[in-house]
Amino acid sequence: MPKVRAAREADVTSIAGICSRAYAATYQGILPAGYLDRMLAEFYVPERITKDLAPAPPSWLGYQVVEEDGRVLGTAAGSLTAPGVGELAMIYLEPGERGRGLGSLLLDRITEQVRELGATEMWVAAVVGNELALPFYEARGFTIQGKRRAYGSTDDEDAWSLRLRREI
């Protein structure tokens, strides 16, 4: 039975590996390679993940992982961006583990966490053209609210994100 729990130090390598593999599987062809490398180097190197393991509520609630038979198969994290406003900051699964409910388990955990801190709505950003994420969010009640440049992208990079919201 898969179960979701807070990440610990021993999960750092798994989280870095999952994010690197999921980035390659998800964004190749829809985001510039330089942008992908920058994001991976900024957020998903072991040093940074280790630093971010400890929750710092309300702006960072810490990595959660989904584990099955002793293997970490996916990770997600949430935050509160303003009083009453939750955000799914990231969610990534091992590419071979998609489509069997693990993403929903992680999303449920993040939703629970932000709700406990008083959130009544939840937001997420998904890269334009990410056909793995958009149908997932729409299946879980999010609707598109607008579009903005992808986090950390430069004017030269044609990288855009959709902002989605749902009430919780």
Would you tell me which residues interact with ligand COA (CB under 6 A)?
22, 26, 91-93, 98-104, 126, 130, 132-133, 135-136, 139
Tell me the closest approach of the beta carbon of residue 143 to ligand COA, in angstroms. 14
**Helix runs in the chain, H state only:** 12-27, 33-43, 46-51, 102-116, 133-139
Q: What's the DSSP call for residue 101?
A: S
CB of 17 to ligand COA, least distance (A): 13
- Minimum gap (Å) between residue 154 Cβ and ligand COA: 20
In the complex, residue closest to ligand COA by CB: 103
**Beta-carbon count within 10 A of 18 CB:** 23
Tell me the C-alpha to C-alpha distance, in Å, between residue 83 and each of 8, 13, 116, 165.
27, 33, 12, 15
Q: Closer to ligand COA at the Cβ: 92 or 123?
A: 92
Cβ 26 to ligand COA, closest distance in Å? 4
Of 63 and 92, nearer to ligand COA (C-beta) is 92
In the chain, the amino acid numbered 159 is A
Eight-class DSSP state of 9: G
Q: Give the nearer residue to ligand COA in terms of CB position, either 131 or 158.
A: 131
- Which residue's CB is nearer to ligand COA, number 28 or number 54? 28
Residue 27 or 119: which CB sits closer to ligand COA?
A: 27
**Concatenated DSSP letters for 125-157?**
EEETT-TTHHHHHHHTT-EEEEEEEPTT--TTS
57 SS3 class = coil
- Do 91 and 74 meet the contact criterion of CB atoms below 8 Å apart? yes
